[in-house]
Amino acid sequence: MAGKTAPFAGFEFMIAWRYLRARRAEGGVSVMTWISLIGITLAVFALILTLAVRAGFRAEFIDTILGANAHVTVYSSGQIGADGQMVRGFVTPDAVAAAIRKVPGVTRAAPLIRGKLLVSDGEDTTGAEVFGMLPEDLASIPRIGAGSGAIGDLARFPDGIALGSGVARELGVTLGDRVRLIAPGGVKTAMGSSPRVKAYEVVYIFTAGRYDIDTTRIYMPFVEAQSFFNKEGRADEIEVMVEHPDRIESYGEAILLAAGPSAQLWTWKDSSGAFLRALDIEDNVMFVILSVLVLIAAMNIVSGLIMLVKNKGRDIGILRTMGLTEGSVLRIFFLCGAFTGLVGTLAGVLLGCLTALNIDQIMSAINWLNGADVWDPSIRGIYALPAKLQAGDVLSAVALSLGLSFVVTIFPARRAARMNPVEALRYE
């Protein structure tokens, strides 16, 4: 009894390779093969680049949130002041902050004064939000304080104010210039409240990496902010940072117990949760859409194989009469389609990874060709298009592309395997 042919024998690869290289005059479909190959390459390239940009945007967005804002903001629903009156905020902010610092996992707890006002250099005026903070607390903010790449001397912060780079650019001021802060209801008189106006020297200019922060935020020494906003002896809130902000929920109960019965919490996930959920939905939708593109590209393989099977009907009949099994025929045409999908996938991965790794240079070239910046930070929030390659994203793109390529190849390959050799050779 003759032995069975081993699956994917060498001659099966040889015949499949011969069919892929065959010209149209020889009954091949090389043009369709190239179209399929290019389609798979572009689809995988688009999928990987989109996944990389999605991951980079999310990582940059979260990093700017955690690097320039509190992980948890502790508010007070109201406390009794020294005069017996109910006041908003904390009347003993240092004690509350000290108690919160003792909570395991808390790395920073800083009393804060917050207020909105106008800032002017004498000619231009813009709105801003002021954060009153101690110098050592300002220095500990990753994207604003020490080591953040800002300009100026933090040691001089008690003598002036710190401006976001967007505020400084809007007013046209730099280090050493003086600006006026205008609080609409700053001074209480017998006739009511009148605006408080005071000039400060700009001693520090920071760039947090978020457009909405850099264009609106000003830092002022804590004691000066208490005086400027008529909040002597108290703080509006306590800014808290923790070791693991992604697990911020696990710190909530302990921080509330330390802050007292009137305390309330607002985490970074509460403030940005809607945007993060929108990003998740967008990610899922984009993956589905691009998966459909990969499927469409893979369908080109089906078209090419159907034409190849039709053109090679005589060859299939001869091979079958020589003893080639249905399984061997199926594997030959499966290899034709699988090879196209494999090469297209590898080319798409290479092109997508190279583009993601060089996204800054590519965007610079696009800006140069366009004559202007195509990335508007006022709309997108961050200053550049980020890309972050992740092994899981690349593997998911490869698995999707190869899986679809292999599956769609089976159907025309089965058609070839089931071809009746007598019918194939009847008119030859």
pLDDT at 62: 84
Q: Does residue 399 register a pLDDT over 80?
A: yes
- Span 13-35, mean pLDDT? 66
Picking from 62-71, 176-185, 225-234, 369-378, which range would have the lowest pLDDT averaged per residue? 369-378
pLDDT at 80: 62
Spatial contact of 385 and 359, defined as CB atoms under 8 Å apart: yes
The residue that leads in pLDDT, 46 or 9, is 46
pLDDT at 3: 47
DSSP alpha helix (H) spans, 312-358: 313-321, 326-357
Spatial contact of 383 and 213, defined as CB atoms under 8 Å apart: no
In percent, the amount of the chain with pLDDT more than 90 equals 29
Q: What is the pLDDT confidence band of residue 61, given thresholds at 50, 70 and 90?
A: confident
Q: What is the pLDDT confidence band of residue 376, given thresholds at 50, 70 and 90?
A: low
- Please, what is the Cα angle at 417 between 415 and 419, to 5 degrees? 70
What's 172-235 look like in SS3? Answer: CCCCCCEEEEEEEEEEEECCEEEEEEEEEEEEEEECCCEHHHHCCEEEEEHHHHHHHCCCCCCE
Cα–Cα distance, 111 to 404 (Å, whole number) = 57
- Span 243-257, mean pLDDT? 90
Q: Does residue 27 register a pLDDT over 50?
A: no
Q: What is the pLDDT confidence band of residue 26, given thresholds at 50, 70 and 90?
A: very low
The one-letter amino acid code at 176 reads: G
Q: Does residue 220 register a pLDDT over 90?
A: yes
Tens digit of pLDDT for each residue in 130-152?
A: 999 999 999 989 889 877 778 99
Tens digit of pLDDT for each residue in 282-309?
A: 888 888 888 888 888 888 888 777 777 7
Tens digit of pLDDT for each residue in 77-107?
A: 766 655 556 667 888 889 999 999 999 999 9
Spatial contact of 420 and 250, defined as CB atoms under 8 Å apart: no
pLDDT at 196: 83
Task: Name the pTM for this structure.
Answer: 0.76
Element holding 282 (H helix, E strand):
helix 268-311
Of the chain, the end-to-end C-alpha distance in Å amounts to 32
Picking from 252-266, 298-312, 333-347, 397-411, which range would have the lowest pLDDT averaged per residue? 298-312
Q: Does residue 395 register a pLDDT over 90?
A: yes
Task: Please report, for the chain, the start and end positions of each structural domain, with discontinuous segments joined by +.
Answer: 10-63+275-425, 78-261
Tens digit of pLDDT for each residue in 34-44?
A: 888 888 999 99
Cα–Cα distance, 371 to 239 (Å, whole number) = 43
Element holding 140 (H helix, E strand):
none
Identify the burial level of 200 via C-beta atoms within 10 angstroms of its C-beta, where 0-12 means exposed, 13-18 middle and 19 or more buried. buried
In percent, the amount of the chain with pLDDT more than 70 equals 82
CA-to-CA dists, residue 336 to 21, 82, 339, 406, angstroms: 10, 85, 5, 10
The residue that leads in pLDDT, 31 or 335, is 335
